[in-house]
């Protein structure tokens, strides 16, 4: 039986913008809809998992349907997220979406209660029989606790005319391949897990409903076109590999939070998340720092001219990757401090406390004093790369007492290499004007755990930590506003007391 609606292409799982009072921000939602449609998406999906539907009241979800349907105005299909733990509520929401003009409904499996196959089947059967609206099943067992077994999906897809697709966000390629085996050409098969999306498309999936399509919709459109239309798998693979870190952050660290922070960094403010989600919780601070670095590398964070005023009348400019944190003029280089923590691998974590200042100021004096009077077990080293001192001149001081030759080799080897790389790239990448490199110095207190074992990871973690700490030093972060916003989730990222 031919289905009257066949979802395909790239479909962003829209975040729901909330204002500072945690109410739906209509204007921000309308801006987001325009943002993704202008970048070529095939449909939009409000009130899904990324849209925080589970933290929204019924009337709010209805309002979001109305706003999105009104603003889309027929430009692309609207697939409304109408799922709920209650079959009755899901029916009511699906009926509302149908009356409001949605093109289809995305219905997640009921959560909280452990359901049998029969209960899952009859849940979808009841909803589908209550409306004429096309229905997409939604499998996301990592949050619902319930799978849609392939045989249940097969039966529903073949027996019920207005069940037109299934979105699978499990991240399981074996499950995805089974759906393709059993239902290819019967209903639309949609991948909802960002990290396997290209592989799913290449294997036969019809489309993508992704959180990351809020952030990089044009990239996903290019990947989809490369796989489905141009048969250029090499190009699609290269794009997916390039953006894999961003996809991992979004898929694994509090989806809506990661998406909202990324869009904010890119200059599109889509507001706050609702509790229980919070920055520093499901979405760690160090992930935010690293996501910013990645977005800069992709060219997604705009650059703006920033003035560095070393002293009155001496102003230097550079092209700085700027967010709302960035000041147009950076003054007072007496003492600037920044701190950052990076992982993975708790054994190989990096924690850097950074001081930046004028060579002829207190930081310069501390630099020279540390060299003249080294503490046993914390001997400082001037940071070098390929046998040459980096500029600005930088001093590495171990945080943890060095007691073994092996520990010393890791601190003054890969950890120092990471620090050196970060300093060199800070100048090359426009974080520090070249005109200032001989007038500034830095001191980096570097943490390398005595049980650290992976030189590559130690180098990379310290490279990233210095990059993050330097931006915080230049931007006077955390700001008072950040501290107040995050006071409930504030914590020191790592503490070690040998």
Is 16 contained in some domain? Answer: yes
* 324 three-class SS: coil
- Co-location of 399 and 259 in the same domain: no
Query: In this structure, are residues 430 and 476 in contact, taking their beta carbons and an 8 Å threshold?
Result: no
- Co-location of 139 and 187 in the same domain: yes
- Co-location of 379 and 451 in the same domain: yes
Residue 319: both structure tokens together = 């092209």
The predicted structure's pLDDT at residue 486: 63
Q: What is the DSSP string of 395-445?
A: EEEESSPP-SHHHHHHIIIIIHHHHHHHHHHHHHTTSS-GGGTTTEEEEEE
With b for 16 or more beta-carbon neighbours within 10 A and e for fewer, the 120-152 pattern comes to: bbebbbebbebbebbbbbbbbbeebebbbebeb
The predicted structure's pLDDT at residue 275: 84
Integer angstrom CA distances of residue 292 from 245, 259, 302, 305 = 11, 12, 11, 18
Is 304 contained in some domain? Answer: no
Query: In this structure, are residues 195 and 189 in contact, taking their beta carbons and an 8 Å threshold?
Result: no
Is 245 contained in some domain? Answer: yes
The predicted structure's pLDDT at residue 280: 60
The predicted structure's pLDDT at residue 370: 96
Q: Is residue 285 flagged as an active site residue?
A: no
* 130 three-class SS: helix
Instruction: Identify the active-site residue in 65, 121, 124, 138.
Output: 138
What is the C-alpha separation between 402 and 299, in angstroms, rounded?
40
- Strands 350-358 and 163-168, by their bridges, are unpaired
* Share in percent of the chain as helix, strand, coil (round to 5): 45, 20, 35
Burial of 380 from C-beta contacts in 10 A (0-12 / 13-18 / 19+): buried
- Co-location of 250 and 392 in the same domain: no
- Co-location of 166 and 233 in the same domain: yes
What is the C-alpha separation between 223 and 196, in angstroms, rounded?
12
- At residue 213's C-alpha, the angle toward residues 479 and 196, to 5°, is 110
Half-sphere CA count of 273, side-chain side, radius 13 A:
29
- Co-location of 246 and 346 in the same domain: no
Q: Is residue 167 flagged as an active site residue?
A: yes
Instruction: Identify the active-site residue in 96, 121, 124, 167.
Output: 167
Among 251, 272, 297, the domain-final residue is 297
Query: In this structure, are residues 339 and 482 in contact, taking their beta carbons and an 8 Å threshold?
Result: no
The predicted structure's pLDDT at residue 497: 37
Range of the domain at 187: 9-297
The full 3-state SS of 216-280, as one line of letters, equals CHHHHHHHHHHHHCCCCHHHHHHHHHHHHHHHHHHHHCCHHHHHHHHHHHCCCCCEECCCCCCEC
What is the C-alpha separation between 432 and 426, in angstroms, rounded?
6
Dihedral sign computed on CA atoms, order 475, 477, 483, 488? positive
The predicted structure's pLDDT at residue 302: 86
Digit-coded pLDDT (tens) for 291-334: 898 999 999 998 888 989 888 888 888 888 888 878 889 889 99
The predicted structure's pLDDT at residue 324: 80
CA–chain centroid gap for 112, Å, is 27
- Co-location of 291 and 341 in the same domain: no
Maximal C-alpha separation, the chain: 83
The predicted structure's pLDDT at residue 276: 82
What is the C-alpha separation between 170 and 146, in angstroms, rounded?
10
Is 52 contained in some domain? Answer: yes
The predicted structure's pLDDT at residue 112: 86
- Co-location of 263 and 158 in the same domain: yes
Q: Tell me the backbone φ, ψ of residue 352, rounded to 5 degrees.
A: -120, 130
- At residue 360's C-alpha, the angle toward residues 354 and 363, to 5°, is 20
Is 478 contained in some domain? Answer: yes
- Co-location of 372 and 269 in the same domain: no
- Co-location of 279 and 378 in the same domain: no
**Angle between helix 173-183 and 150-159 (nearest 10):** 30
Is 401 contained in some domain? Answer: yes
| Predicted model pTM | 0.87
* 342 three-class SS: strand
Closest CA to 190 of 272, 134, 256: 134
Average pLDDT, the chain: 92
Query: In this structure, are residues 245 and 226 in contact, taking their beta carbons and an 8 Å threshold?
Result: no
- Strands 336-342 and 440-447, by their bridges, are unpaired
Among 297, 318, 343, the domain-final residue is 297
Digit-coded pLDDT (tens) for 378-425: 999 999 999 999 999 999 999 999 999 999 999 999 999 999 999 999
The predicted structure's pLDDT at residue 189: 98
Query: In what side-by-side order are the strands of the sheet with 104-108?
Result: 9-12, 207-210, 188-191, 163-168, 135-139, 104-108, 79-81
Among 267, 297, 327, the domain-final residue is 297
Closest CA to 73 of 33, 17, 15, 106: 33
Is 255 contained in some domain? Answer: yes
- 489 DSSP 8-state letter: T
If you count them, how many residues does the chain have?
498
- 51 DSSP 8-state letter: T
CATH of the domain at 184: 3.20.20.70
Q: Which positions of the chain have pLDDT values less than 50?
A: 493-498
Residue 364: CB atoms within 10 Å: 17
The predicted structure's pLDDT at residue 319: 85
Total number of domains constituting the chain: 2
Is 449 contained in some domain? Answer: yes
CATH of the domain at 418: 3.30.230.60
- Co-location of 291 and 344 in the same domain: no
Closest CA to 61 of 93, 22, 89: 93
- Co-location of 261 and 353 in the same domain: no
């Amino acid at each position: 039986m031919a289905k009257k609606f066949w979802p395909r292409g790239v479909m962003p799982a829209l975040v729901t913008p909330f204002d500072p009072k945690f109410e739906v921000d209509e204007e921000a939602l309308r801006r987001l809809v325009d943002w993704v449609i202008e970048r070529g998406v095939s449909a939009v999906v409000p009130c899904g998992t990324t849209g925080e539907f589970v933290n929204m009241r019924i009337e709010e979800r209805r309002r979001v349907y109305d706003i999105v349907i009104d603003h889309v105005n027929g430009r692309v299909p609207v697939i409304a997220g109408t799922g709920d733990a209650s079959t009755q509520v899901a029916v009511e929401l699906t009926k509302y979406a149908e009356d409001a003009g949605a093109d289809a409904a995305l219905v997640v499996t009921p959560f909280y209660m452990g359901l049998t196959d029969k209960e899952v089947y009859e849940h979808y059967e009841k909803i589908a029989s209550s409306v004429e609206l096309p229905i997409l099943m939604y499998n996301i067992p990592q949050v619902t606790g319930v799978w849609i077994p392939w045989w249940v999906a097969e039966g529903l897809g073949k027996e019920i005319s207005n069940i037109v697709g299934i979105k699978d966000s499990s991240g399981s390629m074996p499950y995805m391949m089974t759906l393709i085996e059993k239902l290819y050409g019967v209903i639309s098969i949609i991948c909802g897990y960002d990290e396997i999306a290209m592989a799913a498309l290449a294997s036969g999936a019809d489309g993508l409903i992704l959180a990351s399509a809020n952030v990089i919709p044009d990239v996903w459109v290019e990947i989809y076109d490369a796989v489905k239309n141009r048969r250029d798998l090499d190009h699609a693979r290269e794009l997916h590999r390039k953006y894999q870190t961003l996809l991992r952050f979004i898929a694994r660290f509090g989806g809506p939070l990661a998406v909202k922070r990324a869009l904010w960094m890119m200059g599109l403010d889509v507001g706050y998340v609702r509790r229980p989600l919070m920055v520093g919780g499901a979405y760690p601070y160090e992930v935010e720092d690293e996501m910013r670095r990645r977005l800069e590398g992709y060219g997604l964070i705009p650059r703006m001219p920033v003035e560095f005023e070393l002293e009155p009348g001496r102003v230097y400019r550079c092209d700085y990757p700027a967010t709302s944190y960035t000041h147009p003029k950076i003054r007072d280089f007496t003492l600037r401090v920044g701190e950052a923590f990076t992982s993975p691998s708790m054994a190989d974590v990096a924690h850097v406390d950074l001081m930046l200042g004028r060579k002829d100021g207190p930081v310069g004096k501390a630099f020279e004093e540390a060299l003249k009077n080294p503490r046993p077990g914390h001997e400082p080293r001037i940071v070098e790369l390929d046998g040459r001192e980096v500029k600005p001149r930088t001093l590495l001081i171990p945080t943890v007492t060095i007691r073994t030759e092996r520990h010393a080799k890791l601190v003054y080897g890969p950890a120092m290499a990471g620090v050196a790389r970060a300093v060199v790239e800070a100048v090359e990448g426009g974080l520090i004007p070249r005109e200032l490199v001989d007038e500034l110095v830095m001191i980096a207190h570097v943490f390398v755990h005595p049980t650290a074992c992976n030189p590559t990871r130690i180098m990379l973690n310290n490279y990233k930590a210095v990059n993050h700490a330097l931006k915080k030093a230049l931007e006077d972060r955390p700001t008072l506003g950040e501290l107040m916003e995050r006071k409930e989730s504030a914590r020191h990222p790592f503490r070690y007391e040998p």
